Amino acid sequence: MNTPSSGANAAAETLSEEALDALSRAGTAAATADTAGAAAHRHEALLSSRAANIKQSAVRDVFEISMQPGLVSLAGGNPYLQSLPLDRLAKTAAAIIAEHGLEALQYGGGQGTQELREQICAVMAAEGILDADPENVVITAGSQSAQDVAAKVFCDPGDVILLEDPTYVGALNTFEAYEVDIQPVAGDEYGLIPSALQKTIAELQAAGKRIKLLYTIPNFNNPSGVMLAPERRQEIVDICREANILVLEDNPYGLLKFDGVLPEPLRAANPEDVLYLGSFSKIFAPGLRIGWALVPAHLKQRYYLASEAVTLCPPTFSQLLVSDYLRNYDWRGQISTYRTLYAERCAALLAALEEFMPAEVSWTRPEGGFFVWLTLPEGIDSYPLLYTGIDAGVVFVPGAAFSASHAPSNKLRLAFSAVPAETLREGVRRLAPVLAEAIAA
Ligand code: PMP
């Protein structure tokens, strides 16, 4: 059976074999291999404990595998970019170079352009934050980098970050790299449970821990698809304020609610206690790497300086492109297109699950976002099923990837965003017998 990282290792092995081949022809192979081996050994001793904490995530393994032809990938949470106005964007990109080439290719301000920060406030207004000040917006290289800056600004090794379990694997990777003590808080189908949050805080404080942040994805959590119930939101902020914990609200999927009213972000009524993260990755295009943080005014300076220390400035060309898109294109209409598309795909996935899945399997029914979260009977580890699934022609992400403990998990994530309805059905048709067999075993 394949090992999880065989794809990556195979690539690395192929490369070094080729390199060694060439060197051997030059008659120096053995000496060089020894030097390389010795250098690897010596440099291992130089690595920071932080670097040792950075692991190749199971999601990355799965992405490599899912490139294999013939497989139906329900693994990747990519947005469906085919519905973007690509011709128009091509013209805009050319015009930006032609008309603003020197500016577009130059360094810019560390906080991001004034125009885009103002436009981001309009996007946040659509998300339910009506009082955002462009002065307090820091544009980042995706919201991934905004998470990293938050951990950098607030966390020393051993400090606690509370979060949902399961949660976004990229955030886990970031926080682990800062040697943070990651502590899950219990949730249910309505998201984080306020009483559980209170209890966890009390226990950790009694144990002498310093809790710095609550990281939460209140809308359509990646991976669970769960939306935090509106009536729990204020209570959660109040509990954190009382315990002097800053809320780090990550809301990349908020505008992708399939229909109905969007719930208010935690930030909306709590400008001083919530650091809010947004992104154009799901509502426009992730390759542009434009996200942002809306930072409480009293923390803005520290946050912005830390961000500048990482990237100097957010990508200038991308900012101009996003600005043009927001200024001249019906971006609200594009978001509606995305919503309708994802709603249809989600419905197709749910219908296929109803049709094919064994009775013992249950799943979430998201109201937005990209993901459905499946639960198998207790005691079944979904990780080995990844490989049986690949043999059956379908890929998913095993649940262990999304948990701070990385413990075996009876859950798995299916993404519907990038897959047409018919293919979703075919993927579930292939997956169902794999799960049924594991349940029967
Ligand atoms: N937060 C969550 C919950 C995500 O799912 C993702 C991307 N999948 C990110 C943040 C990172 O997004 P960005 O492309 O803006 O860095």
> What ipTM was reported for this prediction?
0.99
Query: Three-class SS of residue 155?
Result: coil
What the block records as the tokens of 283 is 């509502």
Residue 393, C-beta contacts closer than 8 angstroms, at least 6 positions apart? 70, 71, 72, 430
Please give the distance, rounded to the nearest whole angstrom, from the Cα atom of residue 143 to the centre of ligand 1.
6
- Cβ–ligand 1 contact at 57 (below 6 Å): no
Task: Using alpha carbons, select from 162, 122, 364, 155 the residue that is nearest to residue 249.
Answer: 162
Phi, psi (deg, nearest 5) at residue 55: -110, 155
Q: Spell out, as residue ranges, where the chain has pLDDT lower than 70.
A: 1-34, 53, 55-61
pTM: 0.90
Between CA 207 and CA 201 the distance in angstroms is 10
Please give the distance, rounded to the nearest whole angstrom, from the Cα atom of residue 419 to the centre of ligand 1.
19
pLDDT of residue 33: 58
Please give the distance, rounded to the nearest whole angstrom, from the Cα atom of residue 358 to the centre of ligand 1.
32
pLDDT of residue 62: 73
Q: Which atom of ligand 1 is nearest the CA belonging to 250?
A: 1
Between CA 215 and CA 166 the distance in angstroms is 12
Between CA 252 and CA 338 the distance in angstroms is 13
Residue 25, C-beta contacts closer than 8 angstroms, at least 6 positions apart? none
Determine contact, residues 122/283, Cβ cutoff 8 Å. Answer: no
Burial (CB count within 10 angstroms: exposed 0-12, middle 13-18, buried 19+), residue 378: exposed
- Cβ–ligand 1 contact at 281 (below 6 Å): yes
**DSSP string over 190-217:** TEE-HHHHHHHHHHHHHTT--EEEEEE-
Task: Using alpha carbons, select from 374, 304, 260 the residue that is nearest to residue 140.
Answer: 304
What the block records as the tokens of 222 is 């990646």
Phi, psi (deg, nearest 5) at residue 70: 90, -15
- Cβ–ligand 1 contact at 161 (below 6 Å): no
pLDDT of residue 59: 64
Query: Three-class SS of residue 129?
Result: coil
Distance set, CA 441 to CA 353, 383, 433 (Å): 21, 15, 12
Ligand 1 pocket: which of 62, 281, 292, 311 to mutate (most atoms <8 Å of CB)?
281
Determine contact, residues 424/74, Cβ cutoff 8 Å. Answer: yes
